Amino acid sequence: MGNRHQMIYLFPIISVIVTILSFLRSVIFYLLARKASISLHGLLFERIVNASMEFFSTHYTGNILNRFSEDLVYVDERVPYSMYLLLEAFAEIIGIMILMGSVNLTFFAICLVFSTFPIATVIFFLRTGKILKQLELSTRSSFIGHVNATAEGLPTIRCAKVENILMDEFDSHQNLYTSASYVYLCWFRSLNFFVTVYFVFFTSAILLQFLIVNSDISAAYVGLVLSQATIFKRYLEYTFRRSSKLETELTSIGRILEYTEQTQEHRDGVLVEGWPQRGEIKFRNVYFSYDSDKYVLHNLNCTVEPQDTIAIVGRTAAGKSSIISTILRLHKFEGQIFIDGVDIATLPLETLRSNVAVISQDPALFTGTVRENIDFSGKYGDAEIWNALKAVNLDIVFSSLDYKISTVDSNLSLGQKQLLCLARAIIRKSKIVIMDEVTASVDQKTEKMIHKIVSEELACCTVIMITHKLDYVLDFDKVIVLDKGGIVEFDSPSRLLENENGLFYKMFKQAI
């Protein structure tokens, strides 16, 4: 009677302890999984942001987006959940085996023996499953990349009237992805089938043990062992199914870690106080190539004087934009580039790029306010920001510096966006300003305005403008004419036009 009362009081105590331990287990597991996910995401983001430009040249945007979407979904949700359930099921299996072994050690031995068959099957199947999972994820990357490229090039697709071709390509990518996904699902179901067959033999062995070897065992023990054998079968089957699924889900972590091992930009250097002060640029025997087969720039030797406005012209693929890559150290190059007498290869990368203002053909705006787009570092006051807007004639466009700008549905025209980027360069007062085809997509009125702003507001800066339009080149101090990666002419526009056999003279005559 005493033992009965002890059991009555002991049961609720054990229940409370188990509840508390289960809660603590869940909280601890959640915190560990959250910390691991944040660490992986931070490492992946840092490595990709600091990756060399060769990485972005050889990896599609869809592949990168897939790492931050589908692969991180596995890291955030599916892998921790699978690990949690797997550990829980494994603990249940150990407990059932101990309980069955307490009745008869033979049952414990049977559990161990029949557990080896599913283990061998899972190991045999796992290699195929990992390959199929990688195939599914890779086909999904190409699928996402195609959708992203189609969305970006939608105006061109409609102008060329090739919608049907893009629809066929989309169907092809989708069919490839769904086929890989379906094959992976079939593999998973076939594994379940074989594991179930093994447990039919396991249950038969338990029954034969009772009928032949231990026929005099009590009915209570028979019921206990058979009920636990059924539970053991279910948990062990679940464990192997979950472990195989976890193994394939861990492929996503491998794919993320693969991107964290990419070559990084060299960002270290020696900081020079007060650099730059004048904006002089010297190229000395500069060679540059995107690959080892052919130089895009070769033997560049020239000096850009401080506060000069330089136009870089040349035919397509002459190497104009590659000069920007060398000045900003986007790619590795041979030779030396000096800015105010300092070799840029010895400078910290952040120092170099923060002191060179770049305005590209496609305006780069951020979702936020006008203030945040012009002064995202928060260094300048409202009066200075309004002066920059006034310089580019945008002070009448915005009623407040808190005007919201959206990169998706902005009310600004392309020309106004370009002027906003120009205001960003004006307020920074950078000694070197690089403009890459800034007037290529704007109307003639805005183009005249940009050239006027450059001549008035950026007079104290060294301005390098890459352009295909030669209408306003005559107002520049000097012109660099590139052909096949080399400088063929470098002088003032008036002198270059005196040479009727020169490339600039021929290009100018064709343009007018």
Q: Are strands 342-343 and 462-466 parallel, antiparallel or unpaired?
A: unpaired
Task: Evaluate whether 283 touches 302 at the Cβ level (below 8 Å).
Answer: yes
Residue 218 CB neighbours (<10 A)? 9
Distance from C-alpha of 157 to C-alpha of 276, rounded to nearest angstrom = 45
Distance from C-alpha of 212 to C-alpha of 11, rounded to nearest angstrom = 37
Is residue 480 within a helix (H) or strand (E), and if so which, with residue range? Answer: strand 478-483
Cβ-based neighbours of 397, under 8 Å, separated by 6 or more: 389, 412, 416
What pLDDT is recorded for position 2? 55
pTM above 0.75, yes or no: no
Residue 246 CB neighbours (<10 A)? 16
Lowest mean pLDDT among 36-40, 115-119, 356-360, 448-452: 115-119
Instruction: Write out pLDDT tens, residues 63-84.
Output: 788 888 888 888 888 888 888 8
For domain 33-259, the question of CATH label 1.20.1560.10 is answered with yes
The average pLDDT across 154-182 equals 87
Q: In this structure, which topology does domain 281-369+426-511 adopt according to CATH?
A: Rossmann fold (3.40.50)
What pLDDT is recorded for position 280? 92
Task: Evaluate whether 296 touches 319 at the Cβ level (below 8 Å).
Answer: yes
What pLDDT is recorded for position 338? 94
Instruction: Write out pLDDT tens, residues 240-283.
Output: 777 777 877 888 888 888 888 888 888 888 888 888 888 899 99
H helices within 392-464, ranges in order? 414-428, 444-457
Instruction: Write out pLDDT tens, residues 369-414.
Output: 888 888 877 888 889 989 988 988 888 888 888 888 876 556 788 8
Q: Which residue has the higher pLDDT, 23 or 118?
A: 23
Mean pLDDT across the chain, nearest whole number? Answer: 83
Torsion angles phi and psi, residue 338, rounded to 5: -110, 135
CATH 3.40.50.300 range(s) for the chain read 281-369+426-511
pLDDT > 90 in the chain, percent: 10
Cβ-based neighbours of 137, under 8 Å, separated by 6 or more: 66, 70, 71, 251, 252, 255
SS (H, E, C) 134-157: HHHHHHHHHHHHHHHHHHHCHHHH
CATH 1.20.1560.10 range(s) for the chain read 33-259
What pLDDT is recorded for position 283? 93
